[in-house]
Amino acid sequence: MTKIGLEIHCQLTKLASKLFCSCKAEYRNTKPNSNICPVCAGLPGSLPMLNKKAVEKAAMISLALGCKIPEKIGFFRKNYFYPDLPKNFQITQYNAYGPTSIGSDGKIEIEGKTIRIRRIQLEEDPGRLVYEGTSEKTMITLVDYNRAGTPLVEIVTEPDFETPKQVRVFLNVLADLVENIGVSDPYLEGAMRVDGNISEGDGNRVEIKNVGSFRDIEKALHFEITRQQSLVERGIQVLAETRHWDEARRITVSSRSKEEEQDYRYLPEADIPIVQIGNNSIEQIKTQMPESIVARRERYIKKYGMPAQVADVLSSDKFYSDLFDKSHNEKNAKEVSNIITTDLMGVADTREKKIELKITPKHLSDLADAIMANTLTRNSGKLALHEMIRSGKSLADVMSSLDLGHVSDASSIEKVIDEVFQEEEKAVAEAKQNQDTINYLVGKVMRKTKGKADPATTLDILRKKLAV
């Protein structure tokens, strides 16, 4: 049996400042080494100042993953030499001498399977290494400390996954979850990073690091399962080691055997006094947390009678569920959810596209109302939606500029039908014989009216004229 566990590093990108100083937490697109101060650069004499907001956000993740939060949390130093660490130690949390990390012993249900969360800890991100040069001789390593000190939450699962697919589903749920509670934007480059550990049967555990994306972790795990299984089949023991994912070659490569594993010489971080959390503040944090994805899904189904699948899709996407919650009223909720899930989500499916959307809750609400009042067909509705997305103009403006007014008076439709009958003699004859082909004529009418004709009225008149 395959056992897979994960270590997920999630930056708290929604915080304004770093974990221990007032430098910006958002380091992307800044000139190298410009977003630093004596504290995050680890200059002699500097001291870390704990960002209390980061503790709250990490507590929110812990609560959302069903973890226990201790009454007091503490920080430790993890000592090792590496050029991306300005102090040559990382301030993190550590539970070996008693639980002091922000979360432990949690669990989350994924497609009927329980994934246990071992612990959640708050820590600082190191700097970033950039390699330049083509050959080994010309290769240089550049260090950018802009990222150093960015608040990071490490989530460690028990080895409860059996397949790479379960891992992917879990990661998607986790990404939705952190986005939903407003602590992180998991789709920012480097905001969510995953390491895996994997073992076959009673075999040794292999860690996989350096995986760039969610898609790649699935591939890396697949590769690793195949590699381990083929070793086992040939009677070769799997070594306990750390392997790196080689993105270009799509294989894992041995990078460090366990025997040489570092001793991190963990030490309590005395510069940050123990933080009292206590029940009161946990309750307070709970009240600040937005509705969970699960609760929201339930609400959509119960209150609006949304089909489970629509509720699923909508509730797990923070952007669209927020838009839905702002757009709908009691009456048009179902229609709004239809527009969002069948049309809008297809148009704007990436972060960038979502940001560019010029659509407002009023647009959506007006559009749903118009469709429900039958002043706009669903087809025209789609055209109107696209135009509103592009221009941001009001529904009324869009309808008049695109001439999308609904044609439902029988005489105008009849006129068009007469034209169609003249042009499509063969199809008319066929329709008289076979009712099923009547839709072809409906389509012709729609095309002529640019989709404005009311489908029901059109069908009515057509039936009468064909006498079927």
Partner 1 sequence: MNLGISATEFTSQVSDGAISVEEFVAKTLDRIEKVDGNIRAFITVDSQNALGKARVIDKKIKSKEKIGICFGMPISIKDNICTAGLKTTCASKMLESFVAPYDATVISKLKSEDAIIIGKVNLDEFAMGSTTEFSHFGPTRNPWNIEYVPGGSSGGSGASVAALECLAALGSDTGGSVRSPASFCSVVGLKPTYGLISRYGLVSYANSIEQVGPMAKTVEDVAFLLNIISGHDAHDNTTAKNTRIDYVKDLKSGISGKKIGIISQMTGDGVDKEVECATNGAISKLQDLGAQCVPVSIDAVEHSVAAYYTIAAAEASSNLSRYDNLRYGFDFGIEGYEFKAFISKARSNFGPEVIRRMLLGAFVLSAGYYGKYYLKAQKVRTMIKAQLDEAFKNVDYLISPTMPILPFKIGEKIDDPLKLYLTDINTVTANLSGIPAISIPFAMSRSGLPIGIQLFANSFKEKELLQAAHALQETTKLPGIAI
Q: Does 74 bind partner 1 (CB under 8 A)?
A: no
Residue from 88, 114, 284, 435 in contact with partner 1 (CB under 8 A): 88
Count other Cβ atoms within 10 Å, centred on residue 182.
14
The identity of residue 136, as a single letter, is: E
Contact 153, 121 (CB under 8 A): yes
* 83 is an interface residue for partner 1 by CB under 8 A: yes
Candidate segments 47-55, 309-317, 326-334, 421-429, binder of partner 1 by CB under 8 A: 47-55
We find the least distance from the C-beta atom of residue 37 to partner 1, in angstroms, to be: 9
Question: Nearest CA to 151 among 171, 126, 129?
Answer: 126
Phi/psi of residue 151, nearest 5 degrees? -65, 130
Please identify, using beta-carbon distances, which residue of 58 and 155 lies nearer to partner 1: 58
**Window 54-73: residues binding partner 1 (CB under 8 A):** none
Neighbours of 343 (CB within 10 A): 16
Interface with partner 1 (CB under 8 A), residue from 79, 95, 213, 437: 79
* Nearest-approach distance from CB 205 to partner 1, in angstroms: 18
Q: With binding defined as CB under 8 A, does residue 267 bind partner 1?
A: yes
Q: How far is the CB of 88 from partner 1 (least distance, A)?
A: 4
C-alpha Rg value of the chain to the nearest Å: 29
Q: What is the enclosing helix (H) or strand (E) of 282? A: helix 278-288
Q: Minimal CA–CA distance to 380: which of 407, 359, 353?
A: 407
273 binds partner 1, rule: CB under 8 A: yes
Dist CA 146 CA 144 (whole Å): 6
Measured CA distances, 130 to 37, 83, 142, 313 (Å): 20, 11, 5, 38
What would you measure as the largest C-alpha separation in the chain, in angstroms? 93
Under rule CB under 8 A, residue 41 binds partner 1:
yes
CB of 282 to partner 1, least distance (A): 22
d(CA 232, CA 219): 20
Q: Pick between residue 86 and residue 106 the one whose CB is nearest to partner 1.
A: 86
45: contact with partner 1 by CB under 8 A: yes
Rule CB under 8 A: is residue 47 a binding residue for partner 1?
Answer: yes
Window 236 to 265, contacts with partner 1 (CB under 8 A):
263, 265
**CA atoms of 151 and 19, how far apart (whole Å):** 5
Nearer to partner 1, 151 or 186 (CB): 151
Number of residues that this document lists for the chain: 468
List the one residue from 16, 28, 34, 38 that touches partner 1 (CB under 8 A): 38
Rounded to an integer, what distance in angstroms lies between the CA atom of residue 426 and that of residue 429?
5
Q: Which of 270, 280, 283, 352 binds partner 1 (CB under 8 A)?
A: 270
Token pair listed for 119: 């612990």
- The identity of residue 408, as a single letter, is S
Residue 88 is which amino acid? N
Using the minimum distance from each CB to partner 1, give the nearer residue, 92 or 180: 92
* Candidate residues 49, 347, 357, 410; the one interacting with partner 1 per rule CB under 8 A: 49
**Residue 34 touches partner 1, criterion: CB under 8 A:** no
- Is residue 98 close enough to count as binding partner 1 by CB under 8 A? no
Rounded to the nearest 5°, which phi and psi values hold at 189?
-55, 125
Of 176, 247, 271, 424, the one binding partner 1 (CB under 8 A) is 271
Choosing from 18, 57, 77, 243, the residue that interacts with partner 1 (CB under 8 A) is 77
Number of shown-chain residues binding partner 1 (CB under 8 A): 30
Q: Which is nearer to partner 1, 49 or 345 (CB)?
A: 49
Interacting residue ranges for partner 1, rule: CB under 8 A: 38, 41-50, 77, 79, 81, 83, 86-89, 97, 143, 263, 265-268, 270-273
